[in-house]
Amino acid sequence: MAGIERPALAPMIPTLDDVGVLALDLGANMDATPQHLVQYALMGSIYRNKVHGIANPRVGLLNVGTEPGKGNELTKEAYPLLEALQGINFVGNVEARDVLTGNCDVLVCDGFAGNILLKTLEGTAGAMFSLLKEQFSKSLKTKLGAAILMPELRSLKGKMDYKEHGGAPLLGLSGLVVKGHGSSDGNAVKNAVRQARIALQAGLVSSISKEISGK
């Protein structure tokens, strides 16, 4: 798209409040400049408004501390640019441990840090459910407990399941692209198509283009 230097992969990360956070970039580009992060913030904010109906989405910058002066050279340079950017609701730095609490609607980062964050969350969720399965299979008592808790456990697993979100939009292209997970099943593909339909109906691509070009 004219005015965008790098497209960004923007999957949804589930949060405790069920609203989720749109995180970008989570792997399309390993490196980024401060200006790239500014463009990610703008595109992510438009996406959450147009596709998810959030009127004034909160934008956070992934960092190692919440203070403005924290981080590496990239985040230190990006912070004042995001703070001065018109049209977004920048709430400052966000630590990885706080991502799941829902303290922002859009999380901005470079693709290297973002992909590590995503894979860590996926691995932790998988390990947690494996441990629960192991514990609930130990005795008749735990099996009975598992049977009672099964509806709640299924609901919890559904919250962490990528299939429920369908796929991740690749924002910054002049057309609409939704990238599915490598092991997507029929339900995931269905939700990805639904996600694409909503984005098209909301005029997502044209909205980003107009905002970037200033027209």
pLDDT at 143: 81
What average pLDDT score do residues 177-199 get? 87
What one-character-per-residue DSSP string does 149-165 give? Answer: HHHHHHHHHHHT-GGGT
pTM here is: 0.85
Q: How confident is the model at residue 215 (pLDDT cuts 50, 70, 90)?
A: very low
Q: How confident is the model at residue 160 (pLDDT cuts 50, 70, 90)?
A: low
pLDDT at 90: 97
Q: How confident is the model at residue 157 (pLDDT cuts 50, 70, 90)?
A: low
Nearest to 6 by CA among 52, 46, 38, 49: 38
pLDDT, tens digit (0-9, with 9 covering 90-100), for 8-32: 999 989 888 888 899 999 989 999 9
Any idea what the Cα angle at residue 144 is, between residues 142 and 147, rounded to 5°?
Answer: 110
- Higher pLDDT: 128 or 198? It is 198
Q: How confident is the model at residue 151 (pLDDT cuts 50, 70, 90)?
A: confident
Task: Yes or no: say if 42 and 212 are a contact pair by the CB < 8 Å rule.
Answer: yes
Task: Yes or no: say if 5 and 28 are a contact pair by the CB < 8 Å rule.
Answer: no
Nearest to 73 by CA among 120, 122, 32: 32
Start-end of H helices in 85-139: 111-136
pLDDT at 172: 93
Identify whether 167 is part of a domain. yes
- What's the chain's Rg over C-alpha atoms? 18
Cα dihedral 183→188→192→195 (10° resolution): -140
pLDDT, tens digit (0-9, with 9 covering 90-100), for 74-87: 999 999 999 999 88
Identify whether 105 is part of a domain. yes
Paired residues of 58 in beta bridges: 89
Identify whether 138 is part of a domain. yes
Which residues of the chain form beta strands (DSSP E)? 8-9, 12-13, 21-24, 58-63, 89-95, 106-108, 167-171, 178-180
Three-state DSSP class for residue 185? coil
Identify whether 2 is part of a domain. no
Nearest to 108 by CA among 173, 163, 57, 50: 57
Identify whether 1 is part of a domain. no
DSSP 172: T
Q: What is the mean pLDDT of the chain?
A: 88
Query: Which structural domain, as residue segments, surrounds residue 69?
Result: 8-213
pLDDT, tens digit (0-9, with 9 covering 90-100), for 164-186: 666 889 999 999 999 987 778 88
Total domains, the chain:
1
Identify whether 140 is part of a domain. yes
What average pLDDT score do residues 64-74 get? 93
CATH of the domain at 29: 3.40.718.10
Nearest to 46 by CA among 36, 54, 38: 54
Tokens of 89: 């609701």
Q: Which helix (H) or strand (E) holds 99?
A: none
Share of the chain above pLDDT 90, in %: 51
Three-state DSSP class for residue 171? strand
Which amino acid, residue 137? S
